[in-house]
Structure 1
Amino acid sequence: MKNIVLKQGRRFLSFFLAVSLLCACAPPNKSPAAPTGAGYEQFHARDLSAQNKFDQFTNDLFREEISDSGISFHFSIADPASRGLDTVPLTLGDFSLDKMKQGSKDLRELKMKLEDFNPRQLTDEQRLTWQILRSYINTELASDGLELYAQPLTTTIGIQAQLPILFSEYAFYTRDDVDHYLALLSTIDDYYGQIMEFEKKKSEAGLFMSDATADHVLKSCEAYLIQPDHSFLADTFNTRVDALTDLTDEEKASYKEKNLKVLEEHFIPAYKNLVNGITALMGTGTNDKGLSQYPKGKEYFEYLVNSNTGTSYGSIRNLTKAIEKQLNSDIQAIGQITKEHPEVLDHLDNYSFHYTKPEDILDFLKTQISSDFPELPPCSYTVKYVPNSLEASLSPAFYLVPPLDRYEDNVIYINGNPRFQNDDLFTTLAHEGYPGHLYQNVYFLSSKPNDLRSILSFPSYSEGWATYVEFYSYTMDNGLPPGLGELLAHNTAVTLGIYAYLDICINYEGWDKEQTAKYLGTFYNIEKTDIVDSIYNSLIENPTNYMEYYVGYMEIMEMLGTAKKILKDDFNLKDFHTFLLNTGPAPFSVIQPAFRTWLSKQLRNQ
């Protein structure tokens, strides 16, 4: 369900900048009795100068960010020459402890540069960007000294699982792209070597993963140990090369041979070295419980929550109370639905949607959302299936964010693994496609935002929106009996809420597996050991991952409820959705104040 991105060690901005919607104060009213024309013009001249400098500042920052990694560079912009960029970085980046520590110094320097600007002199859009960077810096500096707590290798969403997918989707626009691809793929063994050096330092500090987690990571690595001529990276490469029109048949054949050689000499050895390196470190990770069991684990968890969810709740305690409140609300809604429609219980194990084929579902969703969501510009999408060899190590589905200058082309992956056979494809595609990730990204990129904003990633805004609209899709005219869609939506929300709540209990409060099992058995009648083990292990291996989804959903639902309560009959769902979409990716700590401003304007317009 991820917007797939390559998470690297924190560097200057690490692609996880904050987007602020808090409107700073406008320039103060100048009210001398009769301001002279010269004074007025001088005031605006200073503003224009500051605005031009700020544009240059953000443009330089954008160029620096995407130039740190060849993968990030290529996936950020399809036509780099249009931004004056003519050198493709032929590296996957620097994943080292020294680089991470340097990142803190860079952030402090950036903060000083940012504070040289007076936000009152900037345009509204620039003022947002100013707030974005300030919010990001303050959040990321909280991780200073906690670099070794980072987890580059994790099941499903770790670098070792995601990077090959990005290579398989590396677009070939010209022959140069093929050369760049092969050069980048040739560095993967060196890049993974850096990661293993980092893992060794984690081990020396007593912070290496548990053996159970290591086993799961090893399985995901082993999925890529396929002979080159049978690898999905050979198949996808051949398809992309064959589509190029500026290559002869002989050149295409030559490139295919080169790719097989790179896979044999660099890609497969990279994964073998990961397997050997992780195996050698097994036994050094003595903590098989949550983050709270590490010396600074609770501190790191607080950082992760703020960085990954951008929540508006000021403390873990307040956030926990909000999760409990939303959980109770969804549980009460389930009770009310079953009271009004007792017959829905008979359909829980036997229901179907009108459409079951991906293309039919997406076409239906596009037409159904027109009444409650603003219109999109023309765009296309391709639905692909996860290669069989990778089904066990990847998410049920995911969406690839397109380059900022090529939002028209979108890709959605579906995982056909039998363990996901009970997932509803209809609502999954609402999450990944319309009106989920695809819709939200196309809407935002088509608005031509500042280049820097276009590369910012806020997991909880993105996943919160996609989760919210996934639940919305249950209530469409989709073929379900009356009441069943609402019941399924609330039930899924409760399931996700349980994960978010337990994430805090395990990684912050220190619950062990027995406490987790007691909670699930007492309150939700979940007593199967394999289910408890699965939940417990997934939360240990990927702290705050489920919170990205649930906290975003919860924050949106809180705003939705407030808007309905205050605006009453004047509430318009499309207007509310337009506000969230126009705001764009941001932490909820700054979306909430912007929402209150929007709400005040709606009241005045009544």
Structure 2
Amino acid sequence: MTNKFFKRGRWLISIFLVVSLLCSCTPPPKSAATPSGTGYEHYNAADVSMQKNFDLFTDDLFRNEISNSGISFHFTMADPASRGLKTVPLTLGDFSLDNMKKNSKDLAELKKKLNQFNPRKLTKDQRLTYQILYSYIDTEMASEGLELYTQPLTTTIGIQAQLPVLFAEYAFYKKDDVDHYLSLLSTIDDYYSQILEFEKQKSEAGLFMSDSAADHVLKSCEAYLIQPDHSFLSETFNTRIDALNDLTPEEKAAYKEKNLKVLEEHFVPAYKNLINGITALMGTGKNDKGLSWYPEGKKYFEYLVNSNTGTSYDSVDSLKKAIEKQITSDIKALGQITKENPKVLDQLDTYSFNVTKPEDILESLKSQIAKDFPELPKNQYTVKYVPKALESSLSPAFYLVPPIDRYEDNIIYINGNPRFQNDDLYTTLAHEGYPGHLYQNVYFLSKSPNDLRSILSFSSYSEGWATYVENYSYTLDNGLDPDLGKLLAHNSAVTLGIYAYLDICINYEGWDKEQTAKYLSTFYNVEKTDIVDSIYNSLVENPTNYMEYYVGYLEIMEMRNAAEKILKDKFNLKEFHTFLLDIGPAPFSVILPEFRNWLGKELRSS
């Protein structure tokens, strides 16, 4: 993860469900060729029957998956009754080692059920869903036996940091939602007790976090130890209650009082117990270096790379070489720009964008991207600011994925912490808004995809896209010298690439802090120990997090470069973007064959 954003995909799903429904890597074993003919798909009665059964299969899987967590359930659908779902699960989920092991067995059963379908007999859209699901199952089954390597508590992207934000954004569409909210909030202490028990099991297995990492988690927890009546959770609750029209003033007052009681009796104690529990476990974490220093750390890192990036590369080593190649390409581009325009370097410390207010930036981006991106249906957004109490523990900005049946309503958060004041808000909002996360989600959900596909979490597709368009935004009409915009875009790519490269070196090859410092000093003139410490600790505490962003960007750039090289003057950037958006969130191991088919069609039509 870059230093700007929450982990995305349907991140709220992947955090709260013990098995995040669907990450991926390996292609399916059976051919999924499109039926030949006139351009229409032809099926016999048996094929149609299989297609109906496949829809029932994916529909049941969707229903079961979102029913594991009340938070996931609510954030996925504003109107669950429209899908025939009437019972809201009043639980935050089951975060236990036993449940993780059970889920591993469930995956094997799911694979057997999936194998009953012949992808040749499915529709084009169904075949894509089949491939994605098959890829996910194969990838996740590789984590069996490695459950205790899971890291639920980490700085910024851990459950303890993100769950309160979801509660603050829990929409009240009607009175029942308030009751469900309070019931769910009342279970947070039990849920955190499960996580703490899991951390104790990690400790007993010699897999607990280092004291440095634990200290960072404790600091993020302390941000929530505030008086209930001065809590952002009470403020946001009161605002949502006041907006409900079907409650009397007396009912509103009673709900507000009940919320304060729940915060006092469950929420604050949950964080106090978590702090006490983590503090008691400090000293039991023996490894302050990367994953490879654990017994099966390299194996777990390989799993994380496949699960979190969905890369088309078949090994960590081959992916590392691709990262080196892309970094080199961007560095060469930097050199070419400065060679042709040496004075551009003089602008690095003084540049500014011509729009600075969030809403103005988003509107500017929305109007300018029309030439290179397909049109969106009607949508709206609200820009909010991170509560003061959480500024030190949350990202500079993040986007919340809307319910699949209310994709028109979107929310972007900005962190006003002074330490982020030098971040470029223009490009950050391109990442979070247009043509980034907001745009990509609205586009995909407006196509009414299979419900199961709407909750599949492929963060490298989502973050890769957002990173790619963030760099694209530097080249728009934004007040920058065009050469400076290109320079900043390539520099941003190089910086993120270094993090991805070091992620592999530290967590897979076993580099220590001294080796990391030598690399940064030798190749990038980074001498300050505080910077080295920050980079090293961030990569140790969040393996593959930055890779989710960079590998997605890398895969997209490789496809674009190939298309430009092959299609030459026939290449159309808008058509390329439309292809990526139409295919939607998926692992790149599945996207790449689809890209080759698209490229072939473009060649034949040119």
- TM-score, length-normalised on structure 1? 0.96
Q: What corresponds to 1:5 in structure 2?
A: 12
Shift of 1:14: 2.0
Shift of 1:260: 0.3
Shift of 1:120: 1.1
CA–CA distance in 1 between the matches of 2:306 and 2:242? 45
Shift of 1:5: 2.3
Q: What corresponds to 2:237 in structure 1?
A: 237
Q: Which amino acid aligns with 2:288?
A: D
Q: What corresponds to 2:333 in structure 1?
A: 333
Q: What corresponds to 1:137 in structure 2?
A: 137
> Which residues of 2 match residues 572-587 of structure 1 at below 5 A?
572-587=572-587
Moved more, 356-365 or 123-132: 123-132
1:15 correspondence with 2:21? yes
1:379 correspondence with 2:362? no
> Which residues of 2 match residues 43-192 of structure 1 at below 5 A?
44-192=44-192
1:268 correspondence with 2:289? no
1:25 correspondence with 2:47? no
Residues 221-265 of structure 1 deviation map (CA, whole Å, 9 limit, x = unaligned): 000000000100000000000000000111001000000000000
CA–CA distance in 1 between the matches of 2:395 and 2:463? 14
SS in 2 for 1:461: helix
Shift of 1:6: 5.0
Shift of 1:129: 1.1
Change (3 A) 1:498 1:469: same
Q: What corresponds to 1:571 in structure 2?
A: 571
CA–CA distance in 2 between the matches of 1:482 and 1:135? 41
> Which residues of 2 match residues 407-446 of structure 1 at below 5 A?
407-446=407-446
- Does structure 2 conserve the Cα–Cα contact (< 8 Å) formed by 1:19 and 1:586? no
SS in 2 for 1:381: strand
SS in 2 for 1:411: strand
CA–CA distance in 2 between the matches of 1:7 and 1:268? 24
Q: Which amino acid aligns with 2:32?
A: A
Change (3 A) 1:463 1:323: same
- Does structure 2 conserve the Cα–Cα contact (< 8 Å) formed by 1:326 and 1:554? yes
Shift of 1:26: 3.2
Q: What corresponds to 1:369 in structure 2?
A: 369
Q: Which amino acid aligns with 2:193?
A: G
CA–CA distance in 2 between the matches of 1:10 and 1:202? 19
1:323 correspondence with 2:323? yes
Q: Which amino acid aligns with 1:314?
A: D
- Does structure 2 conserve the Cα–Cα contact (< 8 Å) formed by 1:327 and 1:497? yes
Q: Which amino acid aligns with 2:192?
A: Y
Shift of 1:132: 1.3
CA–CA distance in 2 between the matches of 1:325 and 1:121? 40
Shift of 1:10: 6.2
- Does structure 1 conserve the Cα–Cα contact (< 8 Å) formed by 2:213 and 2:541? yes
Q: What corresponds to 1:36 in structure 2?
A: none
CA–CA distance in 1 between the matches of 2:174 and 2:461? 34
CA–CA distance in 2 between the matches of 1:578 and 1:139? 28
Residues 419-439 of structure 1 deviation map (CA, whole Å, 9 limit, x = unaligned): 211110000000000000000
- Does structure 2 conserve the Cα–Cα contact (< 8 Å) formed by 1:229 and 1:260? yes
- Does structure 2 conserve the Cα–Cα contact (< 8 Å) formed by 1:513 and 1:533? yes
- Does structure 2 conserve the Cα–Cα contact (< 8 Å) formed by 1:143 and 1:303? yes
Shift of 1:388: 1.0
Q: Which amino acid aligns with 2:458?
A: F
Q: Which amino acid aligns with 2:321?
A: K
Q: What corresponds to 2:207 in structure 1?
A: 207
CA–CA distance in 2 between the matches of 1:493 and 1:312? 20
- Does structure 2 conserve the Cα–Cα contact (< 8 Å) formed by 1:19 and 1:128? no
Shift of 1:48: 1.0
Shift of 1:25: 1.5
Q: What corresponds to 1:493 in structure 2?
A: 493
Q: What corresponds to 1:357 in structure 2?
A: 357
Shift of 1:482: 3.0
Shift of 1:397: 0.7
Q: Which amino acid aligns with 1:525?
A: N
- Does structure 1 conserve the Cα–Cα contact (< 8 Å) formed by 2:461 and 2:552? yes
Shift of 1:418: 1.5
- Does structure 1 conserve the Cα–Cα contact (< 8 Å) formed by 2:119 and 2:130? yes
Q: Which amino acid aligns with 1:324?
A: E
Q: Which amino acid aligns with 1:316?
A: V
Unmatched tracts of structure 2, length 5 or more = none
Shift of 1:285: 0.1
SS in 1 for 2:213: helix
Q: Which amino acid aligns with 1:152?
A: P
- Does structure 2 conserve the Cα–Cα contact (< 8 Å) formed by 1:398 and 1:414? yes
Residues 383-429 of structure 1 deviation map (CA, whole Å, 9 limit, x = unaligned): 01111111111111110000000000000001111221111000000
CA–CA distance in 2 between the matches of 1:523 and 1:551? 21
CA–CA distance in 2 between the matches of 1:185 and 1:450? 31
- Does structure 2 conserve the Cα–Cα contact (< 8 Å) formed by 1:20 and 1:586? no
Q: What corresponds to 2:248 in structure 1?
A: 248
CA–CA distance in 2 between the matches of 1:454 and 1:125? 13
Q: What corresponds to 2:217 in structure 1?
A: 217
Residues 335-360 of structure 1 deviation map (CA, whole Å, 9 limit, x = unaligned): 00011111111110001111000000
SS in 1 for 2:383: strand
Moved more, 210-219 or 113-122: 113-122
- TM-score, length-normalised on structure 2? 0.96
Residues 530-551 of structure 1 deviation map (CA, whole Å, 9 limit, x = unaligned): 0000000000010000000000
Q: Which amino acid aligns with 1:26?
A: T
Q: Which amino acid aligns with 1:16?
A: L
SS in 1 for 2:295: coil
How many residue pairs align between the two structures? 595
CA–CA distance in 2 between the matches of 1:536 and 1:236? 36
- Does structure 2 conserve the Cα–Cα contact (< 8 Å) formed by 1:228 and 1:234? yes
Q: Which amino acid aligns with 1:594?
A: E
CA–CA distance in 2 between the matches of 1:161 and 1:15? 21
- Does structure 1 conserve the Cα–Cα contact (< 8 Å) formed by 2:47 and 2:121? yes
SS in 2 for 1:383: strand
- Does structure 1 conserve the Cα–Cα contact (< 8 Å) formed by 2:27 and 2:589? no
SS in 2 for 1:382: strand
Q: Which amino acid aligns with 1:468?
A: Y
SS in 1 for 2:373: coil
Q: Which amino acid aligns with 1:151?
A: Q
CA–CA distance in 2 between the matches of 1:26 and 1:98? 42
CA–CA distance in 2 between the matches of 1:424 and 1:461? 23
Q: Which amino acid aligns with 2:333?
A: A
SS in 1 for 2:382: strand
Q: What corresponds to 1:277 in structure 2?
A: 277
Q: What corresponds to 2:530 in structure 1?
A: 530
Residues 479-507 of structure 1 deviation map (CA, whole Å, 9 limit, x = unaligned): 00130000001111111001000000000
Q: Which amino acid aligns with 2:531?
A: I
* Alignment RMSD: 1.6
Shift of 1:9: 7.0
Moved more, 434-443 or 115-124: 115-124
Change (3 A) 1:195 1:87: same
Shift of 1:20: 9.7
CA–CA distance in 2 between the matches of 1:16 and 1:61? 11
Residues 59-93 of structure 1 deviation map (CA, whole Å, 9 limit, x = unaligned): 10000011010000000011000000000000000
Residues 20-40 of structure 1 deviation map (CA, whole Å, 9 limit, x = unaligned): 9998123588xxxxxxxxxx9
CA–CA distance in 1 between the matches of 2:253 and 2:157? 34
Shift of 1:187: 0.1
Q: What corresponds to 1:287 in structure 2?
A: 287
The percentage of aligned residue pairs carrying the same residue is 77
